[in-house]
Structures are given as structure tokens and as C-alpha cells.
Amino acid sequence: MFTGIIQAIGHIQEYDARGADARMVIAGGGLDLSDVVIGDSIAVNGVCLTAVALTPTSFTVDVSAETLRVTTGFAPGSEVNLEKALRLADRLGGHLVSGHVDGLGRVHRFEPAGESHLLEIDAPVALARYIIRKGSITVNGVSLTVNAVHDTRFSLNLIPHTLEMTTLKHLQTGAPVNLEVDMIARYVERLAQFTSTTQFPHSTNKD
């Protein structure tokens, strides 16, 4: 579990294609890895990955073909947003993020707006129903608040600090982005599917 508060900007230092899968060495970019052990989870551009090897300044992950198919941002040399897994005693500065990307959005507009930047993203139709004004969403691993929603397009305001501390400053019109919607919205939808009249089959198991 993560919060969407980026702790460092790393980069893909090595990329070893293994069939449709890949093994990557990710330079930590100053991320404190002293308390990370093999098997720990680290969010890379919002994707929860498992550290399979470590050095003081880098970690290695195996990325499946399916993960590569449904996410973006793993080209060799690319900068990536990094966040270590949440501990129970940590402050929840963003929102609860699973690190399981729901789909790819696409940047419609990214431009200065005063001292901040306006970011507009087109979401897949299947995800748009989970995105609400003033709700939370994760973009390339960054926890952000939705300012406005129109059909499948939503807008965000990025303050200078967010741009400085994440890779979002490099976004361009048309660029794909990893999206994870607020998991609470999914739970609410699931609960709403079960009404008081829902009939459940009786168990036939006998002791």
C-alpha cells in the first residue's frame, strides 16, 4: 500500500528484455534504501513492483509482460516516480494507493496557469465513472485532487512543488499516463450491487 506522495525521482538504469518480460535495475535517485529488503514493494510510476536485488543506490525488479502491456513509463533511461511502501505509523499525506494501475489515460492539455500548471487527461470510458470532482486519483504514482470532470475528461492543478518533486513536469500533449482510481469508489460500487433483495445460494456443505 502507498500514499501517492513521491519520495524520489529515479531512472531505468538497466533494461534486460527476457522474452515478453523484463528485468530492470532502477537507480534510486536518492531514495533511502537502507530499510528496504529483498521482497519489499516499491511503487515505480505508480506500479507496485517487488525488489529482487538491492545495492545502496539501486534496486532490481522483474516486470511481467502483462504489466508492461497495461502501463507506461518503463523505457530504458526514463525517469520514474518512486515511493516505498506505506508503514502503519506513516502519515497518510495523499490517499490510499494500491499500486495496481487501472488503465492508461492520455494528456489532452498541459500548460501554465498562473504559478501552477493545468493538466487535463482523457480517461478510458471504463474508469471515468470512478472519477469525481474533489476526489482523488493517482497519475504516474502521484496522488492528485480532481478539480473538474466533463464526460471522460478530468482536470488537475499541479503546484510548483509537485512539478519539482515528480516527473509530471515532463508531460506533453498526447502522452500516456498510468491511472489508478480511488479504491473506495470501487468498494462503494461493489456494495451497491448487492441490495437487501439479493439472494445468495445456501451452502450445501455438511460437517
Mean pLDDT, residues 72-100: 91
Q: Per CATH, the architecture of 103-192 is what?
A: Beta Barrel (2.40)
Q: Cβ(25)–Cβ(55) under 8 Å? A: no
Mean pLDDT, residues 107-114: 96
Q: Per CATH, the architecture of 8-84 is what?
A: Beta Barrel (2.40)
Stated as kind and residue range, the H or E segment containing 70 is helix 65-70
pLDDT at 201 over 90: no
Domain locations in the chain as residue ranges = 8-84, 103-192
Task: Encode 180-198: b = buried (16+ Cβ within 10 Å), e = exposed.
Answer: bbbbebeeeeeeeeeeeee
Predicted TM-score of the model (pTM): 0.90
> Residue 23: pLDDT band by 50, 70, 90 thresholds?
very high
Q: Cβ(97)–Cβ(46) under 8 Å? A: yes
DSSP 3-state assignment of 107?
strand
